[in-house]
Amino acid sequence: MYFDPIYMILIVAALVLSGGAAFLVKMKFKSGEKVAISSGYTGAQVAKAILQSCGISDVSVHEHKGFLSDHYNPLNKTLNLSPEVYNGRSAASAGVAAHEVGHAIQHAQNYFPMWIRSTIVPVANIGSNLGPLIIIVGIMLGAGAEVNSGIGHFVAAIGVALFAMATAFTLVTVPVEFDASARAKRQLESLSIVKPGPEANTVSSVLTAAGLTYVAAAISSVMMLLYWAYRAGLIGGRRND
């Protein structure tokens, strides 16, 4: 259990997926910073223009420290943009700023997948941190006996269920992020902030790369969920440790 080669392979695979996706985003963003937009808008101006066009007046735009630390906070309705995006006048900064506004639009319109994601955040955090530990405890309680019976099975099943909520969070995040990107591109086009051609293509490239980071996270989480379900004896037949 403690030196399971399958577990190590999955960890390495997850690191490769997440690391590769993160590298792609940085590469695309750096490349996109070289493509100026003809409108000359900064990321902050892009965000404010889209918010105004959508009739959203209760969301404020702020500069936030950290490279690509951009995010929308639905709790206090703030749009937090990294310095590169807030002050940037490139296709990359316009795309990222518009994407975050896309989340604000989702919030204002009660976009159902976003509501689901927000609802399961607390239990997803618990599942991500404590789920594997509870599973291991269940397996240890079943040591020398069939894990899929008795108290060991029950405890391990609880851990798997908790981790499944963390996996559900990563899965529902994928459509939320891609929908925000789709909204961003429509708004940039309709407001003529970004012109068709190299500018729009660069925006699409940056946002697609960003979306792939969430796909990588979802794939990694599903792989780990299947592994823990297998170790707990919930799939793949009975296991003896």
Candidate from 80-89, 102-111, 140-149 with smallest mean pLDDT: 140-149
Given a contact cutoff of 8 angstroms between Cβ atoms, the answer to whether 68 and 82 are in contact is yes
pLDDT reading at 196 higher than 50: yes
Confidence of residue 34 (pLDDT cuts 50, 70, 90): very high
Predicted local confidence at residue 142, as pLDDT:
77
More confidently predicted of 15 and 238: 15
Q: For 124-138, how does the pLDDT look when each residue is reduced to its tens digit (9 = 90+)?
A: 999 999 999 999 999
- E strand spans, 161-204: none
Confidence of residue 152 (pLDDT cuts 50, 70, 90): confident
* Packing angle of the helix pair 5-32, 198-231 (nearest 10 deg): 170
- Residue 87 within any structural domain of the chain: no
Among the listed residues 49, 112, 101, 46, the one whose alpha carbon sits nearest the alpha carbon of residue 72: 101
Among the listed residues 193, 2, 164, 15, the one whose alpha carbon sits nearest the alpha carbon of residue 95: 193
- Residue 214 within any structural domain of the chain: yes
Q: For 209-223, how does the pLDDT look when each residue is reduced to its tens digit (9 = 90+)?
A: 999 999 999 999 999
How many whole angstroms separate alpha carbon 212 and alpha carbon 20?
10
Residue 40, strand partner residues: none
pLDDT reading at 148 higher than 80: no
How many whole angstroms separate alpha carbon 64 and alpha carbon 67?
9
Predicted local confidence at residue 237, as pLDDT:
57
Catalytic residue numbers read: 100
- Residue 120 within any structural domain of the chain: yes
Count how many domains the chain has.
1
- Residue 206 within any structural domain of the chain: yes
How many whole angstroms separate alpha carbon 221 and alpha carbon 180?
22
- Residue 240 within any structural domain of the chain: no
Domain holding 20, by residue range, is: 5-37+110-231
What percent of the chain is helix, strand and coil (3-state, nearest 5)? 70, 5, 25
- Give the global pTM: 0.90
Predicted local confidence at residue 232, as pLDDT:
87
Mean pLDDT of the chain: 93
- Residue 12 within any structural domain of the chain: yes
- Residue 97 within any structural domain of the chain: no
- Residue 13 within any structural domain of the chain: yes
Predicted local confidence at residue 239, as pLDDT:
54
Indicate the pairing of strand 78-81 with strand 71-73.
antiparallel
The phi, psi pair for 5, rounded to 5°, reads: -65, -30
The contacts of residue 95 (CB under 8 Å, 6+ apart) are: 32, 184, 185, 188, 194, 202, 203, 204, 206, 207
